[in-house]
């Protein structure tokens, strides 16, 4: 299958390439655009742009030749979306949208959006959950940029989902993305890793924040493409929700984590535990950077969303590298894995330093200087407290950031006990039979 992905080098774009590259019995051919060409995955066959009329024409031809076209509202502009719709032979600026020609074959168009478009939607169900089928009632926060996102979602559905259309359009909206090095929660992880106590919970912190691993979002997009032949957007729901299902007590619904659970969970996993303070919401500050405002708005979101039926199906993502739902149990339950992905994505490695030497050799001063410079714990070893020291070395702070171990005058044998574990090797068949090999 030929697949076009807008901004393949973006956070979501890389996840889409990773999941959509493989096909049953072979490989899909990936085409797309990139704002930073050098960051594009090497598996993308060809990159397009519309920098000039000639390149724009070539890009339109590439779009028309693909079986599946994917854009996301996180990285594309209104102009990008209008160009893609026009390339697929529909005039998005006419009212109603007008067909301008025929395509050589049918196309699947997927627009990736956000649960933020549902921020002000009231649930009418008894359990308080919103579902795919409620998409016509979705309401973003008044005055937010997500009002335009909703308009763009509606534009895509209006342009393509009509009688005789050669393009099937679907919307896939996800909770706050996490994993693969982070985007939404990157600053929180960074501050926790550096040991900076800058985190805050916006009062009261009990709001439910829907989340989804970015690769599970990509897997949903892939499943939409695989199942599109059996889905009629005019008869079935063309809108899909991608959210986790955190564990719950027997008989209770699986609800998203609270804001407080997310923030405190990041601190406790990656950094030194402290009680994260609760702060008032505050008003709209025009000086606040867009990223900070987006994070604040996402963290105060309070929605219970039910995952799309495709995600709940036992066969979901059966063809993936690790088949199935990667993080069905959600953000909090998978924090160890997510933290490791953050460290890998940001190329962070724990620094472990052991300093030893005779008395009056200034080893303690050196250990303290290294600790201050690299912001890692400085631990002083005492031969009588080896068990306590072993516990400190296995703490989360030491696991992710490392440490400086001031061994003092403790001997090699004592230090070795901290890092060496004696394991009884299984006996071979010859040994059990009493056979000696010379």
List of residues 6+ apart from 205 with CB closer than 8 A: 258, 259, 260, 263, 278
Rounded Cα distance between 358 and 229, Å, is 75
Structure tokens at 375: 């912001």
Rounded Cα distance between 263 and 277, Å, is 10
Domains in the chain: boundaries: 2-180+209-256+304-327, 351-419
Q: What confidence tens digit (pLDDT) does each residue in 177-205 have?
A: 999 999 899 999 999 998 899 999 999 99
Rounded Cα distance between 160 and 168, Å, is 6
Rounded Cα distance between 29 and 403, Å, is 46
Task: Give mean pLDDT, residues 164-189.
Answer: 95
Q: What confidence tens digit (pLDDT) does each residue in 105-155 have?
A: 999 999 999 999 999 999 988 899 999 999 999 999 999 999 999 999 999
Rounded Cα distance between 300 and 257, Å, is 12
Q: Is the pLDDT of residue 426 over 70?
A: no
Q: What confidence tens digit (pLDDT) does each residue in 40-73 have?
A: 999 998 999 988 999 999 999 999 999 999 999 9
247, 299, 245: which is closest to 129 by C-alpha? 245
Class (C level, CATH) for 2-180+209-256+304-327: alpha beta
**Band of pLDDT at residue 331, cut at 50, 70 and 90:** very high
Rounded Cα distance between 32 and 283, Å, is 40
Contact 58, 49 (CB under 8 A): no
Rounded Cα distance between 109 and 238, Å, is 11
Q: Is the pLDDT of residue 435 over 80?
A: no
DSSP letter (8 states) at residue 138:
-
* pLDDT averaged over every residue in the chain: 90
Q: What confidence tens digit (pLDDT) does each residue in 246-258 have?
A: 998 888 889 999 9
Q: What confidence tens digit (pLDDT) does each residue in 363-374 have?
A: 889 999 999 998
Structure tokens at 84: 């893609």
Tell me the pTM: 0.89
């Amino acid at each position: 299958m030929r697949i076009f992905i807008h901004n393949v080098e973006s956070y979501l774009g890389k996840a889409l390439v990773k999941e959509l590259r493989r096909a049953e019995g072979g490989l899909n051919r990936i085409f797309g655009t990139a704002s930073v060409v050098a960051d594009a995955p090497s598996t993308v066959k060809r990159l397009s742009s519309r920098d000039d009329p000639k390149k724009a024409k070539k890009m339109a031809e590439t779009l028309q030749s693909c079986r599946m076209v994917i854009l996301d509202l996180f990285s594309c502009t209104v102009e990008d979306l209008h160009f893609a719709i026009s390339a697929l032979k529909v005039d998005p600026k006419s009212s109603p949208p007008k067909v301008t020609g025929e395509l050589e074959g049918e196309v699947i168009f997927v627009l990736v959006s956000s649960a933020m478009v549902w921020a002000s939607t009231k649930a009418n169900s008894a359990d308080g959950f919103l579902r795919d089928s409620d998409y016509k009632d979705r309401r973003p926060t008044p005055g937010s940029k997500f009002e335009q996102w909703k308009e763009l979602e509606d534009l895509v559905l209006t342009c393509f989902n009509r009688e005789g259309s050669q393009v099937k359009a679907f919307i896939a909206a996800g909770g706050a993305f996490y994993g693969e090095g982070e985007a939404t929660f990157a600053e929180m992880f960074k501050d926790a890793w550096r040991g900076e106590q800058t985190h805050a919970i916006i009062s009261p912190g009990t709001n439910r924040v829907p989340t989804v691993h970015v690769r599970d979002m990509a897997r949903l997009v892939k499943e939409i493409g695989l199942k599109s032949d059996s889905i009629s957007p005019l008869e079935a729901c063309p809108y899909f929700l991608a959210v986790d299902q955190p564990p719950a007590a027997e008989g209770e619904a699986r609800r998203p984590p609270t804001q407080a659970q997310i923030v405190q969970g990041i601190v406790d996993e990656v950094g030194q535990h402290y009680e994260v303070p609760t702060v008032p919401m505050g008003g709209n500050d025009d000086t606040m950077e867009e990223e900070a405002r987006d994070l604040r708005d996402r963290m105060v979101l309070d929605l219970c969303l039910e995952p799309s039926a495709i995600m709940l199906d036992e066969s979901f993502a059966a063809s993936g590298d690790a088949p199935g739902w990667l993080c069905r149990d959600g953000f909090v339950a998978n924090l160890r894995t997510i933290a490791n992905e953050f460290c890998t994505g940001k190329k962070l490695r724990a620094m472990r330093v052991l300093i030893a030497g005779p008395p009056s050799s200034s080893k303690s001063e050196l250990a303290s200087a290294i600790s201050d410079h690299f912001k890692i714990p400085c631990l002083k070893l005492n031969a009588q407290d080896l068990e306590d020291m072993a516990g400190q070395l296995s703490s989360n702070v030491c696991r992710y950031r490392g440490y400086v171990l001031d061994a003092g005058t403790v001997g090699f044998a004592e230090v070795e006990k901290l890092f060496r574990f004696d394991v009884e090797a299984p006996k071979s068949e010859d040994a059990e039979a009493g056979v000696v090999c010379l």
